[in-house]
Amino acid sequence: MAEGWLPAAFNRGWTYRDRIGAEPAGATVLSFYAARYRHSDRAVWTQRLAAGELHRNGSRLRADAALLAGDQLQWHRPPWEEAAVPGSWQLLFDDGDLLVIDKPSGLPVLPAGGFLEHTLLRLLERRHSEEAGGDAADMPRPVHRLGRFTSGLLVCARRPTTRAWLSDQLRESTAGAARQVGEAPCCRKLYRALTEPLPLPLKLGESITLSTPIGRRPHPLLNQVWCAAADGEPGALAARSTLKLLERRPGADLVEVAIASGRPHQIRIHAAALGAPLLGDPLYLPGGLARAEVLPGEGGYRLHAHRLVLLRPDGELLELEAPLPEGLGLLGSGA
C-alpha cells in the first residue's frame, strides 16, 4: 500500500431510508426495492428480506408486504468493504474559515457509490475531532463536489453562511443576480484534461464554446445517469463550457476547460458530446451518452481542477492554483 493511503477496510454498515409517497397501486416492498435500487435484482432483495435487513415503519419484515402511501422503509445494510483510497492531501489555503485543498485522484468527496467512511468528508470529520476535541461547530465541510477521479482544487468552509455564499458562486458562476451585463465573472474555474483527438481543426490556443444541455437518462445499474440531452428536453439543465486546445499528442489532446456552470459530470459529458471523450473515460461515449454496463464512479480518465478565482464574502478575490499532475503539463515545459 502506497504511503498516505487508507487500506481497504470494512465499515459499520448503513441504514437507507425511503418514504412511500402517493398510493403505490399494488406495489410491494420487494418490487419497490428492485425498482429503486437497480444495482440488485429481486432475487437479491429477497435474500435481504430473509436475512432481516428490511424494515417497514420500524418493524422488521418477515415476508413481502403490500405498501401504503406514507410507509417508512429502512434497509439496514450490513458492513461492507470499502476500497483503498488516498488518505492525505496538500493544504493550499486556510484563513480559519475558508479551506482549500488539492484533492488527490481516487478519493471520493461525499458518501456515495459504495463509499461511506473512505471519503474526504469523513476524513475531515476525524481530523477535526482529533484537533478540536469533538466540537463540530466549525468543522470544515466541502462546498462542492469533484468526481472521485478528478484531482485538484476543492473548496471547503467552516461557517454555514460562507458555504452557502460560495456554493452559489460555484454552482452558477455566470448567473449571479447582482452582476451587470458586461461585468467580469466573479468566479472562474479552469481544468486541465486529456481527451481523445478532437474532431475539429482547432489551432493551438484556439477555443470552442460547448453548450450541450445535461439531463438524466435511464441506466440499468443506477435507474438514471446524467448524460447529454437535447435542447428543450424536459428536465435538461443548461450548461456551458469553453474548451481550449493546448497541445496535440499522439492519440490524445491536452485541453484547458473553463466551466461557467456546475452540472454533474459536465466536462466529461461536454467533451464526449463534442466527439472527444476524456481519454480513458469508461462511461461516456462519443455523443455524450453513457455505457449501460459502467458506473459514473469508475476511473481511468485524467481531469484536474487547476485554477480558481473566487469572490470571498469580504469582497476580496481569492486566486488559487493546484500543481499539475504528471502528464497534464505541456510536454517539455511543465506548464
Question: 181 pLDDT band (50/70/90 cuts)?
Answer: very low
Q: Is the pLDDT of residue 44 over 60?
A: yes
The correct CATH number of 196-301 out of 3.40.47.10, 3.30.2350.10, 3.40.718.10, 1.10.1740.10 is 3.30.2350.10
User: What pLDDT, on the 0 to 100 scale, is given for residue 169?
Assistant: 77
Q: Is the pLDDT of residue 1 over 80?
A: no
User: What pLDDT, on the 0 to 100 scale, is given for residue 295?
Assistant: 86
CB 226 within 8 A of CB 216: yes
The pLDDT tens digits for 78-111 are: 999 999 999 999 999 999 999 999 999 999 999 9
Fold of 87-185+317-335: Pseudouridine synthase (3.30.2350)
- For all residues of the chain together, what is the average pLDDT? 90
Residues ≥6 apart with Cβ < 8 Å to 331? 247, 249
Q: Does domain 9-82 have CATH number 3.10.290.10?
A: yes
Whether the model clears a pTM of 0.85, i.e. scores above it, the answer is: yes
The pLDDT tens digits for 122-168 are: 999 998 888 766 566 789 999 999 999 999 999 999 999 999 988 88
Domain positions in the chain: 9-82, 87-185+317-335, 196-301
Phi then psi dihedrals of residue 264, to 5 deg: -60, 130
Domain 196-301 in the same topology as domain 87-185+317-335:
yes
